Amino acid sequence: QAVLTPDVIDVEAPEYLARDLLLLLFLEPDARCSRCFRAAVPVHARYHRPAEGTEEAVVVLQSPEVLLCCCHSHLSAECWEPAEVDTPCPSDNTSPCQWHSTTHRPAYEESMLRVPVGLREHSSLVCALTLLTTGLCSGLILAAACKYGHFS
């Protein structure tokens, strides 16, 4: 089960107009290994601002925070400590459960996503050539329409 905050997201907005996202993944233990929890999250990058001098924008994906739920039958040694985080329970989104943040060693300190972006240096060339080509093509079609059309 996954919960996204905020739940109404503009998926088409460029990066500079988009808000931060918080993703909560509720995991059950792996079938084969009672202390293993697995999740795979697909990441789709937004469009970033065009950049000067570099072809990529860098996005840092921080390591996820791992929280242990002290709810129902899932009690463990950490639960004797006071609760640190108040987050909705997995099955019941209304009443908060007690979650404890655990210490863990991430495989990578932070993951970096390199997002390709347009280059500002190209602006003038792109504008000029685009407008020239569209002008040329409109001219061709106009000429054909005037030549073969019936204007009476």
Partner 1 sequence: RAEGMAGAGAALLGGLLARLALVLYGLHQDRAMRVRYTDVDYRVFTDAARLVTEGRSPYRRATYRYTPLLAWLLTPNVFLAEAFGKLLFVAGDLAAAVVAYRALRRRGAAAGRACGCCAAAWLLNPLPMAVSSRGNAEALVALLVLATLYWVQAGSVGKAAVCYGLAVHMKIYPLTYALPIALHLRSRPGRGEGAMDAGGDKTAKFTFMARLWHLFVKMLNRDVLLFGTVAGSVLAALTVAFYHLYGWEFLEHAYLYHLTRRDIRHNFSPYFYMLYLTAESKWSFALGLAAFLPQLLLLLVVSIAFYRDLAFNCFLHTTIFVTFNKVCTSQYFVWYLCLLPLVMPSIKMSWRRGVLLLFLWFIGQGLWLAPAYFLEFNGYNTFLFIWLAGLLFLLINSLIIVQIISHYQTEAQVAKKLKQW
List interacting residues with partner 1 (CB under 8 A): 8-12, 14, 16, 45, 47, 49-50, 55-56, 114-120, 122-123, 126-127, 129-131, 133-135, 137-138, 140-142, 144-152
Nearer to partner 1 (CB atom), residue 66 or residue 115: 115
Torsions phi, psi for 87 (to 5 deg): -135, 150
Nearer to partner 1 (CB atom), residue 103 or residue 152: 152
Shortest Å, Cβ 93 to partner 1 = 17
Shortest Å, Cβ 62 to partner 1 = 20
Shortest Å, Cβ 28 to partner 1 = 23
Q: Nearest Cα to 63, choosing from 5, 25, 107, 2?
A: 107
Instruction: Return the SS3 of 131.
Output: helix
Torsion of CA 131, 137, 138, 141, to 10 degrees: 180
Bridging pattern class, strands 22-25 and 2-5: antiparallel
